[in-house]
Structure 1
């Protein structure tokens, strides 16, 4: 089970005075809501921001009038007081038959160009929204592609995206993803060195992924990655199993990782990443934030105010309909 000390028995952690953390929730976990409704929900719940996945239902990056639609979303975010990071992990936004396809590693240069175009569009959207960063990942190495070829394709494909990010002043935050070519922190550094350590190349760190496959503990991963951190995702997970879980269902020491983030002076959003829980997205959004607030307070030895909500489910439970049902 995830570690969450009680408020009366705070865990030992970095000394008080670290950077206050700001929490968001990913729209890929609210896919059954209209974007405006999702943003209003997160604001009402007290989130600081949103991880906005560009997808057909949420600010479609390929539909007409993208600039005008982006301006409307920017005004809405401003009115609600929400910060934003732009995420590009939509499953079928480019190809209705291939999950996350095409990728930056595809053998067909025209297919790679479609992914490059999507990422470049995302950089423009992020600039117009005032986003902290644009998230992306490498993709899975195609069958029959050797390692050196895959890494060359990745570096070459990301070069124009980085040029766009540099011109826009928006960091590009690459995520190590289990099963992808770039799967670990070591892989991120391989890419960084290959590209000459560009200023606008940063890191998306998914804390559950750290627990899943990194040799270091998630808290130690935060400390090791701190100089390059531009975006953080969080959820529960079990060692060796790539399955995003609600808090309390895995093994992540949440106070420890939040304490490490605070001590590292990380200033971006820490976004709850539950893409397979959209069937009960409002429920999990509601219970995740008080859990994180309590964990963050315990990590620094601070006390929550007496009227702070406990890390427990609000009135009502999520639908009992099995995930994947069309009912």
Structure 2
């Protein structure tokens, strides 16, 4: 198996942007994911600033591999939908300008009924983003977690333009009780990036909890094996939302993946 491409979700580090870049390099990552809503917004980075950022990344042997663009609502919610889609397209342009070819977001709840108005709206919205991504050279990745994987992939199969895919997040699936060992099989062909998070079910709370990578229910040896069979050469983004010691935990997570 080739060496894994391991990146850090900078939001996990809870540090200033430049300090987070240095920390990511220090724990052995070669790529980073930037939150373009809460950490570094496109409007705040001039052309000169983008050149300076690329120089800093080169000095640290890092590259920006994905842009996370969380929205308050999914692309099924009609309120402010046009503005939300336009902002997502701006994040996709931003990603391309920084050399990243993937933008990640949770797209909203996918109904079971393909004739449900929300399902039809998701088809229209994601089709629009897929066409835009093909035009500018940036792919949109729908993060797993709000529904079973097969329901999300069925939605994507219904969109004619194939320049859209999945950000596989087993931790999200576990927390929401949608994970099983076959989850990665169902979306491997469409996986553009992996958000390497882990979790366990908490029966008392009725939902799952995020835990350090390798200590939960996600079967990462299987996940890596299935993706290797599919010749996946994308990135594994380490992302710990609730870490008490994020630098230490992300460093341990990088070691865990490399050991596999």
Please, what TM-score do these two structures have when normalized by structure 1? 0.69
Q: Which residue of 2 aligns with 1:187?
A: 151
Within the candidate set 63, 72, 75, 1:104 is matched to 75
Counterpart residue number, 1:227:
189
Q: 2:198 touches 2:212 (CA, 8 Å); kept in 1? A: yes
Greater strand share, structure number: 2
Matched residue pairs, number?
252
CA contact (8 A) 2:188 2:226 kept: no
Distance in 2 separating the partners of 1:54 and 1:43: 20
User: Secondary structure of 1:267's partner?
Assistant: coil
Q: Does 1:202 align with 2:165?
A: yes
- 1:29 maps onto 2:12 in alignment: yes
Q: Which has the larger radius of gyration?
A: 1
Residue 166 of structure 1 deviates from its aligned partner by 0.6
In structure 1, runs of 5+ residues without a counterpart are: 1-17, 90-99, 297-327
Partner of 2:104 in structure 1? 135
Q: Does 1:59 align with 2:40?
A: yes
CA distance in 2, matches of 1:223, 1:45: 30
Greater RCO, 1 or 2 (C-alpha within 8 Å, sep 6+): 1
Match of 1:283 in 2: 248
Superposition deviation, residue 66 in structure 1: 4.9
Counterpart Cα distance in 1 of 2:49 and 2:84: 21
Structure 1 counterpart of 2:224, from 252, 258, 268 = 258
Aligned equivalents of 1:158 and 1:75: distance in 2?
34
Shift of 1:127: 0.8
**Residue number in structure 1 paired with 2:200:** 238
Task: Confirm or deny: 8 A CA contact 2:214 2:220 kept in the other structure.
Answer: no
Aligned partners of 2:139, 2:168: CA distance in 1, in Å? 14
SS at match of 2:237: strand
Deviations 1:99-139 (A, max 9, x none): x424322232xx11222122101111111122141112212
Tell me the TM-score normalized by structure 2.
0.85
Query: RMSD across aligned C-alpha pairs, in angstroms?
Result: 2.6
Aligned with 1:49 (options 27, 31, 45): 31
Deviates more, 1:240-249 or 1:184-193: 240-249
Q: What's the counterpart of residue 122 of structure 1? A: 91
Output the CA distance in 2 between the equivalents of 1:288 and 1:51.
16
Structure 1 position 160, deviation (Å)? 3.0
Structure 2 distance, partners of 1:75, 1:136, is 27
The counterpart of 1:86, out of the listed 67, 71, 74, is: 67
Contact kept, 8 Å, 2:153 with 2:187, in 1: the verdict is no
Q: CA deviation at 1:49?
A: 1.1
Query: Matches of 2:92 and 2:179 in 1, distance apart?
Result: 32
The aligned counterpart of 2:136 is 168
Deviations 1:206-253 (A, max 9, x none): 122344534640xx3323322211010112211473432212542223
Tell me: CA distance 1:154–1:242, structure 2 relative to 1, closer, same or farther (3 Å): farther
